[in-house]
Amino acid sequence: MQKPLILVTNDDGITAPGVRNLVEFMNEIGEVVVVAPNSPQSGKGHAITINSTLTFEEISLEGPQSDYSLSGTPVDCVKFALDKILTRKPDIVVSGINHGANSSINVIYSGTMSAAVEAGVEGLQAIGFSLLDFSWDADFGQAKEFIQEIVLKTLENPLPKGVVLNVNIPKLEKDKIKGIKVCRQAHAKWEESFDERINPHGKKYFWLTGYFNNMDSGSDADETALADGFISVVPVKFDLTAHEHLEQIAAVLNT
Amino acid sequence: MQKPLILVTNDDGITAPGVRNLVEFMNEIGEVVVVAPNSPQSGKGHAITINSTLTFEEISLEGPQSDYSLSGTPVDCVKFALDKILTRKPDIVVSGINHGANSSINVIYSGTMSAAVEAGVEGLQAIGFSLLDFSWDADFGQAKEFIQEIVLKTLENPLPKGVVLNVNIPKLEKDKIKGIKVCRQAHAKWEESFDERINPHGKKYFWLTGYFNNMDSGSDADETALADGFISVVPVKFDLTAHEHLEQIAAVLNT
């Protein structure tokens, strides 16, 4: 039997420890091709490169996989891999492991998750993985068996059409992780605050900062599961239609 | 009575005819503040600027509104306006008018719609407008009364929590537009194709191109409404959870 073909990408850049760990875990499951950004792309959401051009190169990194570094966004990487690099359709696309959480509303800002969503739009099985630890030397090892389990189960039991998975892993030692919980996206938002500074030429400039405000303590919310020590899995869709409100809005606009 | 405060943004840049038309239409309804990108930001999706800094300036353009030009993405513009420019909460945020369609799956790539979604995340009323005409000198005038009507009705009848509107306008003369239709997002995708070229130094580079593949002829889909000569209005949500599949996925992952 042919080994599954696994496309790996991320948003922290092709050399980030998070993606190198994910590649190592996937090498034990299938044939791995990595197409990932050549620079950090955090917070790029579903951006694509249309007003400038892209370049790529094959690079040599440890392991049996092939590695291609692209000058674009995570979503560009998925599109480019499918059109220019892969010679057959991948069995699954995995993105990450992100250095930092992509739970709750962060799914819409996340390059990691946008790559997975793009793969879903392409009709592929796709999962984004994130660890709740921003540090470059975070310990991704404790998540290995959970990640492999989720990927293997998804290969065996394909996701419903139009759905990809958003997996977040708490920053805990392996034996402290309580298990996997399928959740809904918590209701939360960033309270932004721009940090104002003055450049050497006297002009104001700003850094986007803020704090994450979770407004949702529901037992079925991803933030709750993570706080309780579970790995959260949110099925994410890209039909953004608020079907439940179509009639109400039609009643207003069609009078 | 205080006039409604209307925040206007877009993704084609603050001087694009589409946003200047929208500003003109909104000046007849309320007090208008424009915070828009200083450069084209098409296809930026929900990108935010976290690895570099932002600058802004107040610029002087025709009309009674205030105009602020920001060095960031459309989503940055909404965040920056709320934190640094506006002195009270806007009654509504309008984005566009985009030069080109944002119907169907384009909602996830669109900077125009991502600005509206960000406003929704902030708990504000928000609408994105797009005209099915990519040209810089497109005629936005025929949409004036429809756009004003949608904004006024939304101010009078607030949208359900967690919902913003994605409005697309067909490229038709005013008396050929058949009316407004509330729709769902059509099932469609881009079939990408990267156009390969060689630079003067002999290195390959690529332009992202492709064609739009509508796979959905449902009478309730936005693409159908537009093809039939209607203005399409899709209520868009940002809880991306596939609630209808939670149990099925839990059954797979929790065994």
Q: List, for residues A95-134, the tens digit of each pLDDT value.
A: 999 999 999 999 999 999 999 999 999 999 999 999 999 9
- What are the tens digits of pLDDT across the range A56-86? 999 999 999 999 999 999 999 999 999 999 9
pLDDT for residue A2: 83
Alpha-carbon distance B5 to B9, whole Å? 13
Q: What is the mean pLDDT of residues A15-42?
A: 97
pLDDT for residue B254: 87
Distance from CA of B32 to the nearest CA of A (A): 22
Using the Cβ of B160 and the Cβ atoms of chain A, whether some distance falls under 8 Å is answered with yes
The answer on pLDDT for A255 being more than 90 is no
- Which residue would you say has higher pLDDT here, A1 or B120? B120
Residues A235, B245: C-beta atoms closer than 8 Å = yes
Give Cβ neighbours of residue A188 (< 8 Å, ≥ 6 apart): A104, A105, A212, A213, A214, A215, A216, A223
Rounded CA Rg of chain A = 19
- What are the tens digits of pLDDT across the range A124-178? 999 999 999 999 999 999 999 999 999 999 999 999 999 999 999 999 999 999 9
- What are the tens digits of pLDDT across the range B36-68? 999 999 899 999 999 899 999 999 999 999 999
pLDDT for residue B1: 67
Alpha-carbon distance A108 to A46, whole Å? 8
Alpha-carbon distance B223 to A57, whole Å? 38
Q: Which residues of A touch B38 (CB under 8 A)?
A: none
Residues B163, A45: C-beta atoms closer than 8 Å = no
Q: Which residues of B touch A240 (CB under 8 A)?
A: 107-108, 185, 234, 236-238, 240
Distance from CA of B46 to the nearest CA of A (A): 5
pLDDT for residue B54: 97
- What are the tens digits of pLDDT across the range A200-248? 999 999 999 999 999 999 999 999 999 999 999 999 999 999 999 999 9
Residue in B closest to A107 by C-alpha: B240
pLDDT for residue B105: 97
Residues B192, A117: C-beta atoms closer than 8 Å = no
Q: Which residues of A touch B121 (CB under 8 A)?
A: 105, 108, 189
ipTM of the complex: 0.94
Distance from CA of B65 to the nearest CA of A (A): 23
Looking up tokens 């194709």 gives B193
Count of alpha carbons within 13 Å of B220, Cβ hemisphere only? 7
The one-digit pLDDT tens for each residue of chain B (255 residues) are: 689 999 999 999 999 999 999 999 999 999 999 999 999 998 999 999 998 999 999 999 999 999 999 999 999 999 999 999 999 999 999 999 999 999 999 999 999 999 999 999 999 999 999 999 999 999 999 999 999 999 999 999 999 999 999 999 999 999 999 999 999 999 999 998 999 999 999 999 999 999 999 999 999 999 999 999 999 999 999 999 999 999 999 999 987
Q: Which residues of A touch B82 (CB under 8 A)?
A: 192
Count of alpha carbons within 13 Å of B207, Cβ hemisphere only? 8
Domain boundaries, chain B: 5-186+217-253
Distance from CA of B242 to the nearest CA of A (A): 5
Residue in A closest to B152 by C-alpha: A253
Closest CA to B127 of B109, B145, B99, B102: B102
CATH number of A5-186+217-253: 3.40.1210.10
